[in-house]
Amino acid sequence: MNVTAETFESWKSDAERRDALDVLASFRSQFLFPQHEGSNVRYFCGNSLGLQPAKARQYVNEELEDWHHLGVEGHFKSRRPWFSYHRWFAEPLAQLVGAKVHEVVATNTLTVNLHLMLTSFYRPTQTRNKIVMAGHEFPSDRYAVESQVRLHGFTPEEAMVEIQPLPGTDTLTTRQIVEAINEHGASTALVLFSGVHFFTGQRFDLQAIAAAAHSVGAKVGFDLAHAVGNVELSLHDWDADFAVWCSYKYLNAGPGAVGGLFVHERFADQPDLARLAGWWGNDEATRFTMEHQFVPTYGADGWQLSNAQVLQMATLRASLETFLEAGIDRISTKRNELTAFAESIITTVIGSKDWIRIITPATQSDRGAQLSIHFDRNGKDVFDALITRGIIVDWRTPSVIRMAPAPLYTSFDDVAAFGEAFAQILEGIQ
């Protein structure tokens, strides 16, 4: 199908109509956009680094002011006392991940939290030592798993099971995953999956994965880096043992932002559970008596290491307030509409070009706010041309452009503009 000027006008007209009906349109003004030639960029990179919430600077400055005027007394006398600062995040995070308040905590960073969880929940034996996970997972996860396997005296070859897509396909099926878990069940200690795969954008059926893992006697954990703030989650009801996430992607908390973790309440009061302990994870009632025996705080708080990173967490607070106001249900509805609109436009642009294809699943329930476009050739050239035009996407070696229409700040007009630029760039490539 040829993409003509009339096609562009049709996309723009459709986008204008959708934007006029968008109940979340006003939230766009609550974020700060980089500029390109005097205008906002078209930003589709929230799956890598979300935009800055407009309130972030104010909230950080307020903590700086309290530090200035109160010094150490700010721990208890600041407008948001630092001693208990982390507690505010429990309710909004519990809503986002489908948990009870005592099952979540904002603390540390993603890979630190993953190591903490692996220490507690990967307890291999000579006969049950395997970790089952998706193939081609994000490098940080794989590095963490491999290092934990080696720390326990095993090799990656014997203890890591990485499930690969079937020949001629780009993604896994739930049936594949469950069959792999069952195949290795007697020797599996842990099943570890991402909520949304960073490369393909595939959303996994975490409930089915958790059930399969527990059916063979294994623990199960999830990396929600690309899922939290993006897709609906019900960690408690799905019976996950643990989960970890970062906050700088869809949660918009800024580069290097504080992460978070979930621990199911069945482990909330198990002081003998193996863990790497830190002072801030000790029971709050005795924390300042400086006892030498570690007594973990009830729930996920017991996996904290150090006191709250207040300046970093102030930016997360600004973003989570916006999530609370918008509501995950409305965010999810717009996510589906935006992503479907983008898929339709990209599919039209690709047309009969057999060297480009979308590898993200077409079924809405199997994806979030991301479309991964695979190129057999010229992909990096297309990416560079988009960036030059102020269309911010990202490139994943060796072959994929990822575009993520984040519902809180992406408009349908942004998607139409992406489509027009994408079509014009491809016209110049033979």
List the domains of the chain with CATH numbers: 5-53+327-427 (3.90.1150.10), 60-324 (3.40.640.10)
Would you say residue 1 has pLDDT above 70?
no
Digit-coded pLDDT (tens) for 378-399: 999 999 999 999 999 999 999 9
Q: How does pLDDT run across 339-386, given as a tens digit for each residue?
A: 999 999 999 999 999 999 999 999 999 999 999 999 999 999 999 999
pLDDT at 95: 97
Q: Is the pLDDT score of 409 beyond 80?
A: yes
| 266 has pLDDT over 60 | yes
Which DSSP string corresponds to 49-81?
Answer: SPPEETTHHHHHHHHHHHHHHHGGGHHHHSSS-
pLDDT at 2 over 80: no
Please choose, from the candidates 243, 230, 178, 235, the residue with its C-alpha nearest in 3D space to the C-alpha of residue 202: 230
CB-CB contact of 67 with 85 (8 Å): no
What angle (nearest 5°) sits at the alpha carbon of residue 235, between those of residues 198 and 127? 80
Q: Please count the CA atoms within 13 angstroms of the CA of 87 that sit on its side-chain side.
A: 7
C-alpha 401: how far from its chain's center? 18
Residues 94-122 have a mean pLDDT of: 97
β 394-396/400-403 pair status = antiparallel
pLDDT for 227 equals: 98
Give me the pLDDT at residue 430, please: 67
Per-residue pLDDT band for 271 (boundaries 50, 70, 90) equals confident
What percent of the chain has pLDDT above 90?
94
Closest CA to 359 of 330, 407, 399: 399
403 beta partners: 371
Query: Can you tell me the mean pLDDT for 90-103?
Result: 98
Residue appearing with tokens 């766009």: 28
Of 89 and 271, the structure prediction assigns the larger pLDDT to 89
Give the whole-number percent of the chain exceeding pLDDT 70: 100
- Spatial separation of the C-alpha atoms in residues 129 and 116, rounded to whole Å: 18
CB 368 within 8 A of CB 227: yes
Residue 20 · residue 12 · CB < 8 Å: no
pLDDT band with cut points at 50, 70 and 90 for residue 288? confident
Report cis status (omega within 30 of 0) of the bond before 34: no
Q: Taking each helix axis from N to C terminus, what angle separates 328-350 and 412-427, rounded to the nearest 10 degrees?
A: 20
| Whole-number pLDDT of residue 283 | 87
Tokens of 312: 């970093």
Q: 180-211 b/e with 16+ CB inside 10 Å = b?
A: bbeebbebbbbbbbbbbbbbbbbbbbbeebbe
pLDDT tens-digit map of 127-182: 999 999 999 999 999 999 999 999 999 999 999 999 999 999 999 999 999 999 99
The confidence score (pLDDT) of residue 103 equals 98
Question: What pLDDT sits at residue 293?
Answer: 86
CB 103 within 8 Å of CB 94 = yes
Q: Report the predicted TM-score, pTM, of the whole model to 2 decimal places.
A: 0.95
Compute φ and ψ for 344, nearest 5 degrees: -60, -45
For 9-42, what is each residue's pLDDT tens digit? 999 999 999 999 999 999 999 999 999 999 999 9
CB neighbour list of residue 36: distance below 8 Å, 6 or more residues apart: 389, 390
Main-chain phi, psi angles of 371, to 5 degrees: -125, 125
Report, as an integer, the average pLDDT of 191-203. 97
What is the distance between the alpha carbons of residues 392 and 44, in angstroms, rounded to a whole number? 6
| Cα distance between the two ends of the chain | 16
Write the CB contacts of 262 (distance below 8 Å, at least 6 apart in sequence): 97, 99, 103, 104, 235, 240, 242, 243, 244, 300
For residue 225, pLDDT beyond 90: yes
pLDDT per position as a tens digit, 293-334: 889 999 999 999 999 999 999 999 999 999 999 999 999 999
316 within 8 A of 106, measured Cβ to Cβ: yes
Residue 396: the pLDDT is 95
Q: What pLDDT, on the 0 to 100 scale, is given for residue 69?
A: 98
